[in-house]
Structure 1
Amino acid sequence: MTTRANIACLGAGRMGRGIAVAFAYAGHRVTMIDVKPRSVEDFAKLEADALGEIRKTFLSLSKLGLLAEADIATLIDRISMVPASQSSVPLSDVGMVFEGVPEVVELKREVLGTASRQVKPDTIIASTTSTILVDDLSGAIENPRRFLNVHWLNPAYLIPLVELSPGKATDPVIIDEVKALLEGIGKVPVVCAATPGFIVPRIQALAMNEAARMVEEGVASAEEIDKAIRYGFGFRYAVLGLLEFIDWGGGDILYYASRYLEGALGSDRYRAPEVIARNMHEGRIGLRTGAGFLDYSGIDVDAYRTKRLQAMVDLLRHFELARPPVLDRS
């Protein structure tokens, strides 16, 4: 697959439009394919709606300083849309296909299976499903070694992270090619096993439910909880990953805090997993012992801490919260 391969999106909904914007912005030609048979009039309406929203998205990006308004026409010209009856021609000349139809297994299998017979044998095919496991879909695809799940986070054209979930038949070479393609358009791909919720949605669901539960219990108002998330939870994890943060403070801190919360709140949802106790037993506490979830051997720990703290200071400046010291003693 070339670095500027043509891209196809099966479906022209929110995800298809977002992916089209991301790839067109990075220089690729993109064809959105309507997968539902429609009258000429209905297709024209959908096409106008999809391209109109894409134009508005580019206009918004220009107002945010990411491109010049004069460049919008060039980017829009890279995106086209065709009805289902005309899909074979554009699909025969693409390097990668992204499926983005509604979360219905039968529909996805039908759309993916049809597309797999229209593309070249080596064309990479991906579903963008957020709920369905890749191997529940791969059986419908000709040559499933080139198939995997590529889960984007909305808005797809802005959020850097993209989660890749290969199936049992996925060729490792395909994973590397997709990672390279995504990195080429400025994305940050991560690979995870085919499991419900992938990485971010699984963690996100726990956090969102707990925030809603605290409102329900009267712990704090929605406004106060969201302020805490922006300036505490989100602030720290924009610099330190969750597992890195465990190592930063020490896995033993999480172990004892989890035991207290489980007892005080009467819920095993706070119980630490076995890996926390196992790491403690093996002396993998974190930075203090040179290893935890991550390996810190051979690095300058003081320099590492300074780099992370500098990133936090940069965030303080971004939020206009960095202040000089008060030196007046009067």
Structure 2
Amino acid sequence: MTGQKVEFPAAPEGGRICVVGAGFMGCVIAALYAWHGYEVVLCDSNSETLASFPDRARPIAATFTENTAKVDELLTRVTAEPSLETAVKGVFMVHEAVQEKLETKQAVFETLDSFCPPEVVLATNTSSLLLSDIAARVANKQRVLGIHYITPGHIIRAIEIIHAEFTPSALVSWGRHFVESIDHVGVACPERPGFLINKIQFAMLTEIYRLLDEGIASRDDIDAAVRLSLGPRLALWGPLLTEDLIVSKQTALAVTDSLYQQTGDENFKGRKALRDLVEEGKMGAVSGQGWYRFDAPYSHIVEERDQQLTDLLDWLRDRDAVNRLKVR
């Protein structure tokens, strides 16, 4: 990420955004932007897909409000436009959500680069392709940014802000501020296979697939183990704060070293970041400092930790989420 100074105008309240691609993700993104007061031009070459937007957007909008009048108002802020050249007029950002094919995205971005002034941000919702590849034919690469929603994007609040070597730090900051305006949280990461969330997610899933292949655990036991242990803790605190709250760094390092010695798998080898904390005596909440710094007494932290976890697990049990899905 370059430190080049570039001026990107702040996202104006009620400003104009073009969403390119009216498929599943484009529909979600357009509805979300409209809900938060932006004027949206939804562009797609398929007239049937454009025409079906209101019907597809209503269930999405219903997650924001039960007020049908407000849903109707939201839909009035989205205009369907088949012409890309017309759709991008007067916008401060274009958000591309076309099919996940490199050639298709490259063509869209090359065209957008020619249609849009240099200060217009060109964002992509890619879930796997590299920004540098998508922007290969873009002259003004410094305004290209990844803004990747995690399905269902109108509910999951984390959004990946993906940057490349040519991305100015000012644009990453701009991206964070923009997603804050739609009540989401930006998590920045450089372009790399899997970005941030998929890299973490598939590290876990790959191990789970291996457990299934080797017959070590059943589908139901794996899901119950995660749902009733790891899942609630991660939902409350994330992986690093969870480690701070649950176990000392010395024990965490001992476990990773033991797994490495038993399996020879480099993925289990204790990493430098963890070893450094142990050497510095930063053991987590128990010592007042780990990945995070803790200002409250340890007894208070433990009491609050346990109460939060109890409340969440009680709520999950009352919801009976798995049975309500009617799966078997």
Matched, 1:20 2:30: yes
Helix, strand or coil at the partner of 1:158: coil
In the other structure, the counterpart of 1:49 is 52
- Cα deviation digits, residues 278-299 of structure 1 (max 9, x gap): 3222323222333322334x55
In the other structure, the counterpart of 1:97 is 94
**d(CA) in 2 for partners of 1:313, 1:100:** 40
Amino acid at match of 2:94: V
Moved more, 300-309 or 173-182: 300-309
Select 1:198's aligned residue among 195, 199, 205.
195
Deviation at 1:15, TM superposition (A): 1.6
Select 1:2's aligned residue among 12, 16, 40.
12
**d(CA) in 2 for partners of 1:321, 1:215:** 29
In the other structure, the counterpart of 2:322 is none
Deviation at 1:137, TM superposition (A): 2.7
**d(CA) in 2 for partners of 1:175, 1:159:** 20
In the other structure, the counterpart of 1:58 is 61
In the other structure, the counterpart of 1:250 is 248
Amino acid at match of 1:199: L
Alignment of 1:180-329 (within 5 A): 180-248=177-245, 249-265=247-263, 267-296=265-294, 298=295, 300-320=297-317
In the other structure, the counterpart of 1:327 is none
The size of the alignment, in residue pairs, is 308
Moved more, 255-264 or 15-24: 255-264
**d(CA) in 1 for partners of 2:149, 2:131:** 14
Deviation at 1:158, TM superposition (A): 0.9
Helix, strand or coil at the partner of 1:240: helix
- Cα deviation digits, residues 229-280 of structure 1 (max 9, x gap): 1221110111122112222212222221122223444533322223222322
CA contact (8 A) 2:102 2:129 kept: yes
CA contact (8 A) 1:5 1:94 kept: yes
- In structure 1, stretches of 5+ residues that fail to align are 37-42, 323-330
TM-score by length of 2: 0.85
Matched, 1:149 2:159: no
Moved more, 174-183 or 226-235: 174-183
**d(CA) in 1 for partners of 2:313, 2:61:** 29
Helix, strand or coil at the partner of 1:98: strand
- In structure 2, stretches of 5+ residues that fail to align are 1-10, 320-328
**d(CA) in 2 for partners of 1:307, 1:89:** 55
Moved more, 129-138 or 222-231: 129-138
Deviation at 1:188, TM superposition (A): 1.0
**d(CA) in 2 for partners of 1:310, 1:21:** 37
Aligned-residue Cα RMSD (Å) equals 2.3
**d(CA) in 1 for partners of 2:278, 2:33:** 45
**d(CA) in 2 for partners of 1:21, 1:308:** 37
Task: Quickly say closer, same or farther: Cα 1:263–1:321, change in 2 above 3 A.
Answer: farther
In the other structure, the counterpart of 1:11 is 21
**d(CA) in 1 for partners of 2:156, 2:141:** 28
Moved more, 232-241 or 96-105: 96-105
Moved more, 197-206 or 211-220: 211-220
Deviation at 1:95, TM superposition (A): 1.7
Deviation at 1:156, TM superposition (A): 1.0
In the other structure, the counterpart of 1:71 is 70
Deviation at 1:28, TM superposition (A): 1.6
**d(CA) in 2 for partners of 1:245, 1:209:** 22
Higher relative contact order (CA 8 A, sep 6+): 2
Deviation at 1:5, TM superposition (A): 1.8
In the other structure, the counterpart of 2:40 is 30
Alignment of 1:115-134 (within 5 A): 115-134=112-131
Deviation at 1:203, TM superposition (A): 0.7
- Cα deviation digits, residues 147-178 of structure 1 (max 9, x gap): 21111101111110001122222232222222
**d(CA) in 1 for partners of 2:67, 2:176:** 28
CA contact (8 A) 2:284 2:292 kept: yes
**d(CA) in 2 for partners of 1:304, 1:173:** 37
Identity over aligned residues, as a percent? 26
Deviation at 1:74, TM superposition (A): 1.4
Task: Quickly say closer, same or farther: Cα 1:140–1:208, change in 2 above 3 A.
Answer: same
Deviation at 1:90, TM superposition (A): 2.4
CA contact (8 A) 1:121 1:143 kept: yes
Deviation at 1:321, TM superposition (A): 6.0
**d(CA) in 2 for partners of 1:204, 1:246:** 17
- Cα deviation digits, residues 162-220 of structure 1 (max 9, x gap): 01122222232222222222111110111122222122110100111222222222222
